Amino acid sequence: MPAATTLDEDQASALEHILNRVRDDPKGPAYFFLTGHPGAGKTRLAKAAIQALDSQYDIIVLTWNALSARNIGGHTIMDYFSLPFDQSGIVGDNAYMRCARTLRERMVKCIKTDRRKRIASMNAFLVIDEIAAIHSSVLNAISEAFKTIRKGQPEAASPFGGVATLLVGDFLQLGRVEFCATSSKYPPEDYPTGPCWSTETWHSMDPTVIYLTRFHRGTDQGYMTMLSEIRQGQQIREGIPRFSRASLEVLQSIRDRDGGKVAPRFEHNCIVLTNREVDAFHEKYLADLPGEAVVFDAVDQYFGSEPLAFSVHDVDKMGFKRSLKLKRGSKIMATVNDRDGRFVNGSFGLVHDIRDPTSSNPSITVKFDGSARPVTITAQEFTVYQDGKTIFSRRQIPVMLGACMTIHKSVGMTLPGIWCRFPYGGSAKSANQDIEKLWGQPWLLGACYTALSRTGDRKRVRVHPIRRTDSLDDSAVLPMFFMDAQAIEFDRECKARNWLALPQQPVTQEPTAQEPTPERGAAASETERTDLDELRRSIRDEIDTLRKEVRDHSTRILFAQKFGQHQAGSTYINPVVYCWSDPLLSEKVAALPPKVQEEFYRLMNEEFNLASAPPESNEVIGAPR
């Protein structure tokens, strides 16, 4: 379980409440919805709850995508229930998931025995992360599958069969990826889906809302405040939030002064709107890298006549490219889950080496972010079936270039930096109507907010276009900050029900005869109490931040003095001072426990002062990549 000092006061209070309700409460099944601002520590709190309950409960952690699953230590829903694609001849046909009844039946039928037993356990605890990515039909199906598996147990008729449940996510960000749209059996018009908070399952749960507002993902409070002003949904005009002056200054600071033509110097991923823009970016990205490009052509096989429903172009969308062009040093993203757990679909890395590119068994070695050593990836086979028969197979290395991605692909990711290149660069205010039409489309509601939420520091963000203005008024803001009105309203309801904002002490006793009942007007209004609660939390935020800064500073001073005693000659390099001078490296090291910091500095002391020249900061062990 994370140390108490790693959780702020709100997180610690919420964790205690969750544990008490789950472990010992006569009120029946406990349901929680953990939400709040980006970077407020939702996943951290969820992990703390998982670790605290792990020794006593059979914990089931589900997410929609593999990257989120790896981050929180869980399974994708398809993996946990062993759900296949339909064998309809359509590539990636998951349209049956639009039908909650069909999906529930397949979950119950396909799930492995050991996982079925875990669900049936009297001490089961369910966590669903990135809940905004879950369609209404999927949430209903999971709940009904749990009910079926737990039939006969107490509370089995309750949502999720009476299993205590923690839902985690932010519905204001982009979420649901549409299911296969070309199925004739489960067409979208006959099987519509929506956000899972609109389901009967959600309403039956009536979960306790824990709404986190303290920022943790980055240290830039001004940038985080700008994000919170976008998510509040208060707009002076369509697509233009009611920004404070400070947030307008932040907006100007992230403006790409090079017009989207020169890549930022900090580590980053480029974010665009469409796959076509991704492909165009990668063409230039590869051309600018040194060295010769290597092309891996897929090996395709057709079996029998090609069915009408099959499209070979859809295989590319599944991450098995017909033609894959790479260079050493190029940034890639894995498109499958590795059987040995070395990487998952969505993991980023750099190509370390390319081996035997013209042979029948080519391979690449990739140094994935956060991994100590490069791993070898060979070609794998992607197969399409129809009625149990193979109709097509493709053999290819399952990666794609990852220097650029769409906003929708970035959902759920925390990125080291972002370079947003959006349409209408250099447009005059007369183009505002066209810009509104673009960003106001349903598939882009919340998109700009989602993109900017991938990091928490204005120094790691560049956006094109943002209009230049010296007056810092709203008239220069591009109308691209559209949000989903229904999601905004739901979020407001959640914030109003925030358990953290409720009085935590028991209500005082009724006044006795000697204690006259106070006048109604003497009581503080709900608004005043809310304002006071917000003020108290704001003060606690500042105190927590100050304590951390003092603690980090004291630790650095202590180690700087300790290693300074080893100085011998004018060429000595103090490892603490060296790391301290690099803000990114200093932040990375400060996040380590003191014992680990000490060992890190000891190793760096040997590296710096026994070697002929110090390494570059990006070569330092533990440095951000």
Q: pLDDT (tens digit, 9 = 90+) per residue, 129-185?
A: 999 999 999 999 999 999 999 999 989 999 999 999 999 999 999 888 899 999 999
Same domain, 547 and 595: yes
**For the chain, how many structural domains are there in total?**
4
Helix (H) or strand (E) holding 325: strand 323-326
Q: What is the pLDDT of residue 300?
A: 95
pLDDT at 608 over 90: no
Instruction: Return d(Cα 305, Cα 41) in angstroms, integer.
Output: 53
**Does residue 532 sit within a domain?**
no
Q: What is the pLDDT of residue 407?
A: 94
Instruction: Return d(Cα 97, Cα 450) in angstroms, integer.
Output: 25
pLDDT band at 498 (very low <50, low <70, confident <90, very high): very high
Domain-terminating residue out of 372, 405, 438: 405
Same domain, 82 and 94: yes
More confident residue, 367 or 504: 367
Domain-terminating residue out of 353, 375, 405: 405
Same domain, 303 and 252: no
**Closest by CA position to 129, among listed 39, 216, 207, 66:** 66
Q: What is the pLDDT of residue 294?
A: 96
pLDDT band at 475 (very low <50, low <70, confident <90, very high): confident
**Does residue 30 sit within a domain?**
yes
Average pLDDT over residues 352-377: 92
User: 335-349, 420-434, 592-606: lowest mean pLDDT where?
Assistant: 592-606
Number of Cα atoms under 13 Å in the Cβ half of residue 44 = 20
**Does residue 244 sit within a domain?**
yes
Same domain, 11 and 153: yes
Instruction: Return d(Cα 168, Cα 32) in angstroms, integer.
Output: 8
Q: What is the pLDDT of residue 570?
A: 53
Report helix angle 221-231 to 245-253, nearest 10.
Answer: 110
Is the distance from CB of 46 to CB of 166 less than 8 angstroms?
A: yes
- The string of pLDDT tens digits covering residues 411-446 is 878 899 999 999 998 888 888 999 999 999 999 999
Same domain, 279 and 203: no
Per the confidence metrics, is the pTM higher than 0.85? no
Bridge partner residues of 378 (DSSP): 363
Same domain, 86 and 181: yes
Q: What is the pLDDT of residue 474?
A: 73
- The string of pLDDT tens digits covering residues 72-130 is 999 999 999 999 999 999 999 999 999 999 999 999 999 999 999 999 999 999 999 99
Whole-angstrom CA distances from 349 to 267, 361, 372, 376, 560 are 12, 21, 12, 12, 33
Same domain, 250 and 335: no
Enclosing domain of residue 420: 221-269+407-482
Report helix angle 594-610 to 583-590, nearest 10.
Answer: 140
Q: What is the pLDDT of residue 609?
A: 76
**Does residue 534 sit within a domain?**
no
Name the 3-class secondary structure at 366: strand
Name the 3-class secondary structure at 292: coil
